[in-house]
Amino acid sequence: MNAPLRSAAVVGKCLAILALSSALVVVIGGTSHVFGRPLIALLLTAIIAAVLVSLRPRLFLAPLGAAERLDERSAPPAINVDPLFLMSPSPALLVDCESRGILAANQAAADLYGYALGDLGHLSLAALLPVAATPDEAQGDLPAAGLARHQRADGSSFWGELQYSRIEHAAHAAWLVTITDVSTRMNLARNLENSERLAADLIELSLGIVFIHDLNGDLRTVNPAFAQALGYTAEELAGRNLGEFLPPGQCGAFGGYLSSIDQDGVSDGVIRLRTRDGGECVWEYRNRLRLGSDGGKSILCCAIDISERSRNERRLLETRNKDPLTGCYTRPHLQVFEEAAEPAACWAAIVIEMDHFQRYTDSHDHRAGEQAIIGTARMLEGMVRSDDSVVRLGADEFVILLRRCDQATLESFVGRLQRLRDNQAGVPFTFGLAMRKDGENLTETIHRADRQLVERRVIERSSIRVGNPREARLLAHRRLPSARLAELAAAEGEILVLRDAGSSA
């Protein structure tokens, strides 16, 4: 309300009080002569006091009122801010588009920057962002929207994200600025980055074998220990599939491992891998399924090379499974041989039995019999390859196990064995052989070789009629060349053919 209107109101109030007092004086004065005059004096005093009180602001405070009006003219116009703005839990500022000064702030913004709510009104937005990003041309000289370092009242700083919205407020343009404190998020991201860098360094420096592959078996990350164990560089292994390094015949087992770890999330065990130079290494592993931030799956694998331990265990097992007299393997080695072979491996078994060994022992002595057995064992071991095996099945019976044997290999071996048999000066022996059929186990192969041995022995003994028995036996052997013997070993009708050969003798 302006000054003229306030003055008129005061005068009106005084006249109303005066009229009311006069009426009361007339009424009371007409009815009482004792109290009339004192009462009239009292009422007049009250009327004068009321008029003076009403005129007091104008008479005594006129200079102060003029100063207040001067301050009002120099102060900025009052801003009526929406209560929702003031009560919002999100920090927000109202910035003048022309002066870039802060027109208003809510309590959340004051708390964020550490100022009293009234103090923010004396600052500009630039004062809160001393190291702000380059100003955005679309926003004049305001800092660009996005991440920026903000400064608090105590001098500390934090990462904040700015968002601008241009609004019309109190008949002039203003920027509604919202601030999001992302310091916690930035710290988490920085800590995560540091953790990932630390993990990468640990993998790189680890003496253990560490690698990562996906659910297809493709290698994503390998550390130097992995590459060194297989004889490659890390660059050569990038993108290759782990299944490429498995021995033949284990692809099915590898597929089962991938399915199992996808379902169970963990896997541990022992794996054999081929090295670059054709050798084999044995790893004991413990793997775990990981879910990436993008939802993708990968397998983190940790392993140690137990190749040397595996070889020592094999040597210990071989020592336990060897015959103390001859040094040949014993029957338990048959299971070891079969378990180490690939599912589709092609092997051959040659069963050898010394002829009339009991008669030889009776005619000589027990020690001579042992020496004959040892001599036969040494002869057989001298014929086989390093990965083949000579097994003593009984007192005078042996079996030679040829690993990775084809028809040509078997023919060559049988030829050498037959020449050795023909020229042997010690106790003679008879042998039978068989090659593995599809899906056949080792016991079945040995059984077929043993049947051939029996059939050959029957033929040889039935061929001895007159003359020198040894000469007749050698003659029967020479009727079956080594190539023919190898063919018979792989055929179904070897017994029938042998009988025909024997009858033709």
Give the domain-ending residue among 309, 343, 361.
309
Do 448 and 335 lie in one domain? The reply is: yes
What's residue 452's pLDDT? 94
Assign 3-class secondary structure to 326-342: CCCECCHHHHHHHHHCC
Answer yes or no: is 474 within a domain: yes
What's residue 129's pLDDT? 84
CA distance 484 to 415: 10
Do 253 and 123 lie in one domain? The reply is: no
Residues 195 and 175: beta-carbon distance below 8 Å: no
464-489 pLDDT per residue, tens: 543 444 444 444 444 455 555 555 55
Residues 301 and 222: beta-carbon distance below 8 Å: no
Do 285 and 401 lie in one domain? The reply is: no
* Pure H helices in 32-119: 36-60, 62-74, 83-87, 107-113
What's residue 341's pLDDT? 86
What's residue 46's pLDDT? 65
Choose between 399 and 133: higher pLDDT: 399
Is pLDDT at 441 greater than 90 in this prediction? yes
Which range, of 43-52, 246-255, 392-401, averages the lowest pLDDT? Answer: 43-52
Which range, of 1-15, 100-114, 138-152, 254-268, averages the lowest pLDDT? Answer: 1-15
What are the DSSP calls for 272-315, one per residue?
EEE-TTS-EEEEEEEEEEEE-TTS-EEEEEEEEE-HHHHHHHHH
Residues 391 and 398: beta-carbon distance below 8 Å: yes
- What is the residue range of 21's domain? 3-74
pLDDT band (50, 70, 90) for residue 69: very low
Token duo for residue 366: 């027990």
Choose between 168 and 270: higher pLDDT: 270
Q: What is the share, in percent, of the chain residues with pLDDT greater than 70?
A: 72
Residues 42 and 133: beta-carbon distance below 8 Å: no
Q: What is the mean pLDDT of residues 208-221?
A: 94
Choose between 249 and 104: higher pLDDT: 104
Torsion from C-alpha of 422, 425, 428, 431, nearest 10 degrees: -40
Token duo for residue 196: 């990932």
Is pLDDT at 326 greater than 50 in this prediction? yes
Answer yes or no: is 407 within a domain: yes
- Give whichever of 129-138, 251-260, 495-504 has the largest mean pLDDT: 251-260
* Residue 361, domain CATH: 3.30.70.270
* Pure H helices in 114-250: 125-128, 183-205, 224-230, 234-237
Do 364 and 290 lie in one domain? The reply is: no
Do 92 and 214 lie in one domain? The reply is: no
What's residue 131's pLDDT? 58
How far, CA to CA in Å, does 333 sit from each of 171, 258, 314, 315, 389?
Answer: 100, 32, 11, 12, 9
Do 344 and 256 lie in one domain? The reply is: no
Do 356 and 463 lie in one domain? The reply is: yes
Is pLDDT at 304 greater than 90 in this prediction? yes
pLDDT band (50, 70, 90) for residue 492: very low
Do 172 and 231 lie in one domain? The reply is: no
Which range, of 343-357, 459-473, 481-495, averages the lowest pLDDT? Answer: 481-495
Answer yes or no: is 481 within a domain: yes
Cα Dmax for the chain: 191
Strands 397-402 and 280-291, bridge-based pairing: unpaired
Do 430 and 494 lie in one domain? The reply is: yes
pLDDT band (50, 70, 90) for residue 500: very low
Average pLDDT, rounded, for the chain? 79
Do 242 and 341 lie in one domain? The reply is: no
Answer yes or no: is 228 within a domain: yes
Do 352 and 448 lie in one domain? The reply is: yes
CA distance 335 to 357: 28
CA distance 363 to 367: 12
Closest C-alpha to 303, from 263, 277, 273: 273
Q: What is the tally of structural domains in the chain?
A: 4
Give the domain-ending residue among 286, 309, 332.
309
Q: What is the mean pLDDT of residues 293-319?
A: 88
What's residue 29's pLDDT? 57
Residue 301, Cα to own-chain centre: how many angstroms? 8
Answer yes or no: is 439 within a domain: yes
Q: What is the mean pLDDT of residues 441-459?
A: 93
Global pTM reads 0.47
Q: What is the share, in percent, of the chain residues with pLDDT greater than 90?
A: 39
Answer yes or no: is 374 within a domain: yes
* Residue 88, domain CATH: 3.30.450.20
Answer yes or no: is 197 within a domain: no
pLDDT band (50, 70, 90) for residue 52: low
pLDDT band (50, 70, 90) for residue 165: confident
Give the domain-ending residue among 150, 185, 220.
185
Do 121 and 153 lie in one domain? The reply is: yes
Answer yes or no: is 319 within a domain: no
Residue 14, Cα to own-chain centre: how many angstroms? 92
pLDDT band (50, 70, 90) for residue 243: very high
